[in-house]
Structure 1
Amino acid sequence: MKSKTFQKYFFNCFLLTIPVLLWDYAFTDRLPQAFQAENFSKGIPSFIINIENGSRLLMFIFISLMPIEMLKTIQNKGLILYVIGTLLYFASWLMLMYFPNSTWSKSALGLLSPAYTPLFWLIGIGLIGDSLYFNIPYRRWWYFFIVIVFLIFHNWHTYLIYLKIE
């Protein structure tokens, strides 16, 4: 009985973030110098960093409370969007890693692409997760609101980095 309970809580939407987290961990050191830990937050206003990190934490907590159940058409569409979004995210990194001097990688659109492409895989996760483990009424807009706040501040942070290196 206890293993079934554990399995129930183990298969949550956080599992969908693992490929992205592993990718980030494995390849961050190959991104342009502006994205390295010693430079990434240098000169960025603390309120931007605090709201970005706070909303990121809330987003991951929320994701961890959403079970993965692929029972509805919208969840299957969410999975497709998640896969496409994850591939776009990986491609945005590959462009910066392998073609750092290209017009794309030096443009705001290119340099910010790892910051805005998570929109797609995060929306996919939001469509996959349609409930919470706790007996609380669930509304997708709660999750999407947190994602929007996170992405606004994450992109603002990255744009400020772009302005520093331009």
Structure 2
Amino acid sequence: MRIKAYLLNCFLLLLPIILWNIILIDYLPESYSTAIFDNNIPKLISYSEIILRFILFALPIFMKLSIKTKLQKIGLLAYCIGLILYFSSWIIMITNPQSNWSQSQIGFMAPAYTTLFFFIGIGLIGNKAFFKFPYLSLIYIFLSLLFVISHSTHAYIVYMRL
């Protein structure tokens, strides 16, 4: 297989998310700052979140980026919906942090739980690996669910302290 084929992996789908976070993280309300958001979080939640995030961002490097099958097209739709929801949750939080939505539990936690949609999309799009890896999509989606649970629990703890 040519090197170009290896470069077309599902990690490319994470680039908009990574760039978004890097560029806009400082514009989120203070409650999302590292000093507040990461303060005194139980180690089980914190460590599981870190480990799962690493796996979810590393595994797509080995997943082929292809949108040919019906399942992959459904994955692309889930990914796009996920991006829209995730980006929207940030935009609302940045532009209107005092709104009822931003101050509510569901609004405050939205940047955590909306990630599930784009992670499921990546799992469905990258259902084939560059090497034999049975049940890759199911494993990725399962790990995504575990990550969203830990990340949302983290956000819930922070929200309850505010």
Q: Distance in 2 between matches of 1:113 and 1:136?
A: 32
Q: Which residue of structure 2 lines up, in the alignment, with residue 107 of structure 1?
A: 104
Q: Which residue of structure 2 lines up, in the alignment, with residue 140 of structure 1?
A: 137
Shift of 1:22: 0.4
TM-score, length basis structure 2:
0.95
- 1:85 has 2:98 as partner: no
Shift of 1:24: 0.6
Q: Distance in 2 between matches of 1:132 and 1:34?
A: 39
Q: Larger deviation: 135-144 or 155-164?
A: 135-144
What SS is found at the alignment partner of 2:128?
coil
TM-score, length basis structure 1:
0.93
Q: Distance in 2 between matches of 1:39 and 1:56?
A: 20
What SS is found at the alignment partner of 1:112?
helix
Shift of 1:137: 2.4
Shift of 1:159: 0.5
User: How is 1:26-105 mapped onto 2 (pairs within 5 angstroms)?
Assistant: 26-105=23-102
RMSD after superposition: 1.2
Identity %: 38
CA distance 1:139–1:17, change in 2 (3 Å)? closer
- 1:119 has 2:116 as partner: yes
Q: Which residue of structure 2 lines up, in the alignment, with residue 162 of structure 1?
A: 159
What SS is found at the alignment partner of 2:82?
helix
